[in-house]
Amino acid sequence: MGTLRDLQYALQEKIEELRQRDALIDELELELDQKDELIQRLQNELDKYRSVIRPATAQQVQAQQQSLVLQPDQHRSKRQAISAEPTACDISALSHVTLPFYPKSPESKELIKEAILDNDFMKNLELSQIQEIVDCMYPVDYGKDSCIIKEGDVGSLVFVMEEGKVEVTKEGMKLCTMGPGKVFGELAILYNCTRTATVRTLTHVKLWAIDRQCFQTIMMRTGLIKHAEYMDFLKSVPTFQGLPEETLSKLADVMEETHYEDGEYIIRQGARGDTFFIISKGKVNVTQEDSANQEPVHLRELTRGDWFGERALQGWTLTASEYVNILH
């Protein structure tokens, strides 16, 4: 009898253990569903971020790439390549587009510029693009308790606040308050989506605004013009003159413009290299440390059209190009 009771007790324990396991499985499945939802949200945010770097256009032209530095795939720059080769017609048409201009005080211009550079979605724009955005922004005023953006609405404007304070809510819950020098509503021009939150004024506010069409025109025009400039530059380099037009266009797509001051080091001997440089303007001095006395020995001087760091494209470590110092 005691044995039967022991078996019954053991059976009950096993049943309870199975119930606990079932409950644990249910919890894990729920957690998995939540993680799937999180992954989807993050994917959506990634798509939105990519749209900052690669804004969609009717011609599917990506306008962010402005480069004179060629990098291997595993070390690609944060700026993406132009996806379609620009034609003379494209550039000509965009060159004749007249963008609006609204005068601003130097203080307002600087505030807008700093707000853009402080925004996670827009800070990677080229300075020339930011300048055009600043010029095209127009003034907007809202009184206290006004709704600037309503969650769920379709938006086409992005704002930079110059004066006042606003409250941001989502699904009725307060997220934060914002004051001068902040960008909001940027997803409306960077990604084709509805407003993700509501923005209501707490005081009288003064804003600067730009619409999606104007923003994307700036992105297209600067990208296409820069691409054409890089093509002309590559064609002027004797070594590249025999390359097909298609190859030159692909090179231009993955170039990034980089500036160095007089006396600044570009590459140091022994450092791991991940960039191939072509000189567009100025001169560089190439030196190598002498193993005997540890003093740099001058190797050569490079000028416009010359390049260095080519072994970085093969993923090699630089050992000979080694102290590169700007002269002019």
Condensed to tens digits (0 to 9), the pLDDT of residues 119-147 reads 988 888 888 889 999 999 999 999 999 99
What mean pLDDT is predicted for residues 241-246?
A: 86
- 15-24: pLDDT as tens digits: 888 888 888 8
pLDDT mean across residues, the chain? 76
What mean pLDDT is predicted for residues 202-220?
A: 91
47: left (phi over 0), alpha (psi -120 to 50) or beta: alpha
Give the pairing of strands 265-267 and 166-170: unpaired
For residue 274, the number of C-alpha atoms closer than 13 Å in the C-beta half-sphere is: 6
Q: For residue 122, give the nearest of 83, 64, 206 by alpha carbon.
A: 64
Q: Confidence band (pLDDT; 50, 70, 90) for 149?
A: very high
Q: For residue 80, give the nearest of 62, 96, 92, 94 by alpha carbon.
A: 62
Percent of the chain clearing pLDDT 90 (strictly above): 25
What mean pLDDT is predicted for residues 249-277?
A: 82
Q: What angle do CA 110, 119, 276 make, to 5 degrees?
A: 95
- 73-95: pLDDT as tens digits: 433 333 333 333 344 445 556 65
Angle between helices 106-117 and 127-136 (to 10 degrees): 130
Domain 91-219 annotated CATH 2.60.120.10: yes
Percent of the chain clearing pLDDT 70 (strictly above): 73
Whole-number pLDDT of residue 188: 77
pLDDT at 53 over 80: no
Give the whole-angstrom CA distance, residue 200 versus residue 151.
Answer: 11
Three-class secondary structure of residue 311 per DSSP: helix
Q: Choose between 258 and 172: higher pLDDT.
A: 172
- CA distances to 40, 47, 109, 134, 246 from 122, in Å: 22, 14, 16, 13, 31
CATH of domain 256-327: 2.60.120.10
Are 223 and 54 in contact by the 8 Å Cβ rule? The answer is: no
Give the whole-angstrom CA distance, residue 324 versus residue 265.
Answer: 6
List Cβ neighbours of 188 (8 Å cut-off, separation of 6 or more): 155, 156, 157, 158, 195, 212
C-beta neighbour count of 155 within 10 angstroms: 20
Amino acid identity of 228? Answer: A
Q: Confidence band (pLDDT; 50, 70, 90) for 280?
A: confident
Q: Confidence band (pLDDT; 50, 70, 90) for 67?
A: very low
Q: Choose between 160 and 72: higher pLDDT.
A: 160
Pick from 2-16, 65-79, 125-139, 182-196: least confident: 65-79
What mean pLDDT is predicted for residues 176-183?
A: 94
Where do the domains of the chain lie? 91-219, 256-327
Whole-number pLDDT of residue 311: 67
The full length of the chain comes to 328
Q: For residue 61, give the nearest of 96, 97, 90, 98 by alpha carbon.
A: 90
- 218-230: pLDDT as tens digits: 888 877 878 888 8
Pick from 57-66, 67-76, 100-109, 139-148: least confident: 57-66
For the chain, the distance separating the N- and C-terminal CA atoms, rounded to the nearest angstrom, is: 100
Q: Confidence band (pLDDT; 50, 70, 90) for 312?
A: low
Determine phi and psi for 192, rounding to 5 degrees: -80, 85
List Cβ neighbours of 141 (8 Å cut-off, separation of 6 or more): 204, 205, 206, 207
- 24-45: pLDDT as tens digits: 888 888 888 888 777 776 666 6
Whole-number pLDDT of residue 74: 38
The answer to whether 91-219 and 256-327 have equal CATH topology is yes
Are 51 and 190 in contact by the 8 Å Cβ rule? The answer is: yes
Q: Confidence band (pLDDT; 50, 70, 90) for 322?
A: very low
